[in-house]
Amino acid sequence: MVDLSRKIKAPVAVTGINFDAFDANFEALLGSANRVATKPANEAFPNADTVVFVGNNYPFAEVTNLFENVKNFIQIDINPANLGKRNHNDVTILGDAGDAIRELTKLVKEKPETGWWRANLANIKNWNDYVYKLETKTEGDLQLYQVYHQINTHAEDDAIFSIDVGDVTQTSVRHLHLNPKQMWRTSNLFATMGIGIPGALTAKLDFPDRQVWNLAGDGGFNMVMQDLATEVQYKLPIINIVFSNNQFGFIKDEQEETNSGYIGVEFMGVDFAKIAQGMGAKGYTLTSIDDAKSVFDAALADIAKGETVLIDAKISGDRPIPVEALILDEKIHDQAAITAYRERYEAESLVPLTDYLKAEGIEPEYKAVDLGGF
């Protein structure tokens, strides 16, 4: 797929669940669209004239009308029931996705570099720089981003990540920088909170020699934390990270968009490190950026001794940037709204794709990215 992308100069978007199939450093990786998503993917679709839809189910595409502006739709799928399910197909290929992509890559001629390719690559780089800037901040309150920085720098080359449901799902597709040897799993279609611990337990039982992480919000962790004792009982050295913000962040953000106030989305803090200790695991509380590296170093040393570990990261309540409702483009939004958006999400450096397209002489589609909260 990477070879085909480079040959035809078409960037690659993934569904969230599939982002571990690619190296995070692949220069044309847009990420995923909608809400568990990245900015470059959400901006690319309204401007894309052709989509090759490969081995995909992708129900969210229908709900948000993601392919509204797409003129040519090519689908490759081995399951006939999936063909034409999400969009009208102009070309349909029934077959194994890998085989079809390999054959197509041989058949197509190398295309010279295009403005579309350059604009998307620049947009991806701009987004990656933004993400990295947040992760490597050294001042201010501890945010989830700096916790991911420690996870990335402490993760082994073939680590497995079990991800709970909430902001942690959205932020993992943005801030876990994976390679295809690593693996992430979550509850994708049903989005069942509490999946983090059981996923990590089974991962460690199935792959005892690989490093296993459970990443969960405090809401999701509260639902299943008793099974930390199961990790200890079966001597499973799993690194459990709890992103504690005393709120159902993912739902609170939805309520910000749709309600005139908040209801039922805030709850009291819990000392998860003490609970971990009470269950025989090693427990750490992380409260500052300064301490992040040493806490992770200590946790990884425990893991090396075969201990089960929990790090309770007391993060700020900052909302991660809503890329499903971007407010960056002067042709679409007023300046005051753009300034407020940039300030709130520390997004001064973010450039809309439309700017990169204009610079390449391509007339962009000025359509607000508003994917309705999905």
Ligand X SMILES: Cc1ncc(C[n+]2csc(CCOP(=O)(O)OP(=O)(O)O)c2C)c(N)n1
Give the span between the Cα atoms of 64 and 68, in whole angstroms.
9
Q: Which is nearer to ligand X, 2 or 251 (CB)?
A: 251
Q: Which stretch binds ligand X (CB under 6 A): 58-66, 148-156, 192-200, 332-340?
A: 192-200
Beta carbons of 240 and 189 less than 8 angstroms apart: no
Q: Which is nearer to ligand X, 60 or 248 (CB)?
A: 248
Residue from 31, 217, 322, 352 binding ligand X (CB under 6 A): 217
Q: How many residues bind ligand X (CB under 6 A)?
A: 20
Give the span between the Cα atoms of 163 and 116, in whole angstroms.
34
Give the span between the Cα atoms of 276 and 239, in whole angstroms.
12
Q: Which residues, in sequence order, are CB contacts of 144 under 8 Å at separation 6+?
A: 167, 168, 171, 175, 243, 245, 313, 315, 318, 320
Token pair recorded at residue 132: 């990295």
Residue type, 264: G
Rule CB under 6 A: say whether 191 interacts with ligand X: yes
Rule CB under 6 A: say whether 36 interacts with ligand X: no
Q: Which stretch binds ligand X (CB under 6 A): 211-219, 232-240, 291-299, 334-342?
A: 211-219
Site map 147..186 versus ligand X, x via CB under 6 A? -----------------xxxxx------------------
Nearest to 53 by CA among 40, 80, 72, 28: 72
Give the span between the Cα atoms of 32 and 40, in whole angstroms.
8
Q: Which is nearer to ligand X, 261 or 264 (CB)?
A: 264
Own/partner pairs for 102-108, CB < 8 Å, 24+ apart?
104/4, 105/3, 105/4, 105/7, 108/4, 108/7, 108/8
DSSP state of 21: G
Residues 218-257 that bind ligand X (CB under 6 A): 218-220, 243, 245, 247-251
Q: Taking the complex as a whole, how short is the minimal distance between the CB of residue 353 and ligand X, in angstroms?
A: 27
Rule CB under 6 A: say whether 199 interacts with ligand X: no
Q: Which stretch binds ligand X (CB under 6 A): 155-163, 189-197, 343-351, 361-369?
A: 189-197
Q: Which residue is nearest to ligand X (CB)?
A: 217
Residues that bind ligand X (CB under 6 A): 164-168, 191-194, 217-220, 243, 245, 247-251
